[in-house]
Structure 1
Amino acid sequence: MTRKEILEKKRKVQEITKAAVSKKDPLSSFPSFHHYNTKDLSVYLDSGRGDNLSSSVKQYIQNLLKVNMEPAYGTEWPEEEKVKRRQMVSSEARYIFVYETVNADANIMFKLSKKGRSNADGTDDKGHLVAFVHYRFTIEEEIPVLYVYELQLEHRVQGKGLGKFLMLLIELIAQKSKMSAVVLTVQKANMTAMNFYRNKLRYLISIMSPSQMGLQSNYEILCKSFNYEAKAVLEMKFLKWNKLQSMLWSRFQFCNFFSVQRSKILFFSLGDVVLSYVWPLVHFHEMHSVILLDR
């Protein structure tokens, strides 16, 4: 790829992301997802922005985050809570709020949603706030992605298919907005969430995740890609980082070894020979490829 082509590609990615961010209400494209009903649960969905949250909704978000996430973070929670409070009100933050409807038709409640007033416990004239999704349109590894910052449900509405419904909606919003993947972060200690994303929704551990680069961390980065390029850049499930290190080091044990940003490119030099292993941008089927750049 020439420098001009690289810059043009980067410009297009930025334009796609900017267009997604500028859309006023991504939920409006999916009217059939405005409400969700089961035998014992009836809810409707509404959109929101981080820079337009009422104080009571902010408090509700903080309360639910504390209840759901403090056990997974343990002693790290006080510091993490501060980070989440800042993230919560960012102008880039997009929300899907879920309101429980009681003795009211979900469509009627949705029409009233713009007029609602809320209290700190999540109760207002829209209904009772029982869950929310915080997501953003952003760029990871030069790929436009929808990044899920939070998927939080009150305990009493869990296990009713609502979380799966919300993630399906998120994936539809991502594809409608021309995002190439959905990306999210899960604490390793949160086994329920890890099982939900990996086994039920078939998300994969991303190559961006610390564990795939031989680093110790308490979280994993997961992803679901929608096209070949995103799969190559974000997933690259064929060869794990630690296996790559062992394989190449044994083969080029006399080479000088170092890695560049997120281990995308590994360089090995032996005299005047420079070898570069480029992943995940270049690979052939399920095999790794070593490319001779210069001799």
Structure 2
Amino acid sequence: MSRTAAILLCTYDGESYLPAQLDSFDSQTYSNWIVHASDDSRGSGTRAILEQYRQKWGPARMSIWRGPQKGFAANFLSLACNPSIDADIYFFSDQDDIWKPAKIDRAARWLASIPDDVPALYCSRTQLIDEHGNSLGYSPLFKRQPCFANALAQNVGGGNTMAFNRAARDLLVKTGPHTQIVAHDWWTYLLVSACGGHVHYDGCPSILYRQHGGNLIGANKSARARLYRLNMLLKGHLKAWNDTHIEALMPHQSMMSPENRAKLNCFSQARNRSFFPRVWGVLGSGIYRQTVMGNIGLAAAALFNRI
């Protein structure tokens, strides 16, 4: 029998696109899935759609939870750490995308290749669509190996593509649902890679990623978007994010591999040094981003004390 897949779906005023996402679950080639939806909506429209699908599928196929009302990251962590949810593999899901039919099967096959006691995280490239479903191309194709050194500098995988095994889920449970983080997907990448887990970035797109005005985080595809993010980096956003990540990781160093524990401490200490020790320390820590422009921005952030 195939392993049980828990789809961790978070919603917030999602009436416009939610039915298409739910229908894409129903079209999966992998049949052993259960949807766990946590709704943070202000009104009742999204909840009514979820209830309609639960009635259609049956309660064994779908459960609905009231969200914590503390933002998207807290909502996803509330599901990932919910003791009532038990599965073999777990999938984060946004409310406004469309999953390709083989999404669950493709992730499940890779996760099955990793020993059950080793944390494992799958993520993928995305195919971009506009609010009407028209194609906009693809997200950037990352080619460098995902690992902790990369996770300290950027998140390589969107949460809407992520799947992870029970061992990775156990790490999220141990760190708890109330951990102060930047985003649930970046935190999952950091945690799994820090603790010696396997991370796989699949260059084959697994979802249709909808781009619209309500997106909290875009696909970072265009030159304009990349310049915008570089500007954010130089304004100190990366520094604030790193403060949050380091504070969240430090209490859990006992779970980390010795190599990654040393890397975290090297990076953390270098950030607080004077000019030359900071620059050499940050660059010498081995952290990197996936692209040439990204690494130029990283070096600039170190130079201007924005890291």
Q: Under a length normalisation based on structure 2, what TM-score does the superposition of the two structures give? A: 0.29
Structure with greater strand percent = 1
Higher-Rg structure is 1
Larger RCO (CA under 8 A, 6+ residues apart):
2
TM-score (ref. length: structure 1): 0.30
